[in-house]
């Protein structure tokens, strides 16, 4: 079975490709379960691509004959550290490295050049918890579905970029998101004061494994993810 999908320019990471978390969230919508998504190449923007479900249960995002992403059901558990409060996350956000230098300031999730109600503006920084980055997030009403819940692909988006800033120290390191595995257990509502966190799991050469989590205004764990970021010479 094949359908078509277009990643709009609004949902960019780098200027010419889709934000990894958003694209993974779109793919997860075709699995409807805990999902592992592997990005094979940068997802193009404003281009019609085919979504194909295989007999083996994999879901492929195809640009012509090229596989852009692959999604499949996964079994997934993660030890999630306790979150800071919304206020503590707001304080941590002031130290966001992207305020000093950001290679992609228009990134849908973490770009400081995106306006309110346009990008997610999740600016994860460190404070007393040097082993964790955190950020406040108040989802905009424009991200909600017809039932008044923030759409799952935007929750996946929120679980993306904080992982990158958890993996690095105090300077920019060119990396690409290679894989994102996530589970969403509870949605959030527009205007809710949420907290997003990220932390390191381990590093193996050029590969950085990190965890991220999303908490509600009451501190309830709404969803979490494990990501593999891969160091590259440069990102375009």
* Domain edges within the chain: 2-73, 86-231
pLDDT at 127: 78
pLDDT at 169: 85
Q: Which CATH architecture has domain 2-73?
A: Roll (3.10)
pLDDT at 233: 83
pLDDT at 72: 96
> Can you list the residues of the chain whose pLDDT is less than 50?
none
Domains 2-73 and 86-231 share a fold: yes
Q: How many CB atoms lie within 10 A of CB 33?
A: 13
- In CATH, 86-231 is 3.10.129.10: yes
pLDDT at 31: 94
- Entry pTM: 0.96
Cross-strand partners of 227: 180, 210
């Amino acid at each position: 079975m094949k359908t078509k999908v277009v990643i709009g320019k609004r949902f960019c990471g780098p200027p010419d490709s889709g934000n990894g978390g958003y694209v993974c969230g779109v793919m997860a919508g075709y699995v409807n379960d805990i999902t592992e998504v592997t990005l094979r190449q940068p997802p193009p923007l404003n281009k019609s691509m085919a979504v194909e479900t295989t007999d083996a249960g994999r879901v492929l995002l195809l640009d012509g004959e090229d596989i852009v992403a692959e999604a499949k059901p996964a079994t997934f558990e993660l030890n999630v550290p306790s979150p800071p409060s919304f206020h503590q996350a707001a304080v941590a956000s002031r130290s966001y490295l992207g305020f000093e230098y950001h290679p992609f300031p228009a990134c849908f999730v973490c770009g400081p050049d995106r306006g309110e109600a346009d990008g997610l503006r999740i600016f994860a920084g460190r404070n007393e918890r040097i082993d964790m980055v955190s950020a406040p997030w108040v989802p905009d009403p424009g991200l909600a579905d017809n039932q008044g819940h923030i759409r799952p692909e935007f929750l996946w988006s929120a679980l993306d970029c904080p992982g990158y800033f958890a993996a690095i120290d105090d300077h920019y390191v060119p990396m690409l998101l290679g894989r994102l595995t996530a589970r969403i257990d509870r949605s959030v509502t527009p205007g809710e004061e949420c907290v997003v966190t990220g932390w390191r799991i381990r590093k193996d050469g050029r590969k950085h494994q990190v965890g991220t989590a999303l908490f509600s205004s009451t501190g309830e764990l709404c969803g979490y993810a494990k990501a593999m970021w891969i160091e590259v010479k440069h990102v375009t």
